[in-house]
């Protein structure tokens, strides 16, 4: 089969889309928030309105954890406990954008 201009364009689009997928999934490698005693307050705040297992599928699918509420606790405690940030740590608002909660 000969590859004409339109095929080339199609291939280029596919390559770009795949590239974007790879770029996005690479960003997901940031360490997750450990689900331990220390971080219980963050989990409890984020999931305090979580629908129970008997709630409708609709409610469970569209539930969003209260990330903004939980983020309030992150930095003060890390400061108090002396948890170090890596030297090149990015801007430190919205922790949970990058550090995902585990379910």
Q: Which residues bind ligand HEC (CB under 6 A)?
A: 30-31, 33-34, 36, 38-39, 41-42, 70-71, 73-75, 77-78, 81, 83, 85-86, 89-92, 94-99
Nearer Cβ to ligand HEC, position 10 or 97? 97
Q: Is 32 helix (H, G, I), strand (E, B) or coil?
A: coil
Residues near 35 by beta carbon (within 8 Å), at least 6 away in sequence? 43, 101, 102
Q: Report the nearest approach of ligand HEC to the CB of residue 41 (Å).
A: 5
Q: Report the nearest approach of ligand HEC to the CB of residue 60 (Å).
A: 22
Q: Report the nearest approach of ligand HEC to the CB of residue 11 (Å).
A: 33
CB atoms within 10 A of CB 78: 15
CB contact at 8 A, 88 and 81 = no
Nearer Cβ to ligand HEC, position 59 or 94? 94
Tokens 């940030």, residue located: 85
């Amino acid at each position: 089969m000969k590859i004409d201009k339109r095929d080339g364009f199609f291939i280029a689009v596919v390559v770009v889309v795949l590239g974007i997928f790879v770029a996005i999934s690479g960003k997901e490698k940031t360490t997750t928030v450990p689900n331990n005693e220390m971080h219980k307050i963050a989990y409890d705040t984020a999931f305090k309105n979580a629908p129970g297992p008997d709630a409708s599928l609709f409610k469970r699918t569209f539930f969003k954890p209260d990330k903004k509420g939980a983020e309030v606790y992150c930095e003060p405690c890390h400061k108090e406990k002396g948890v170090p940030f890596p030297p090149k740590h990015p801007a430190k608002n919205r922790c949970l954008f990058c550090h995902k909660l585990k379910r």
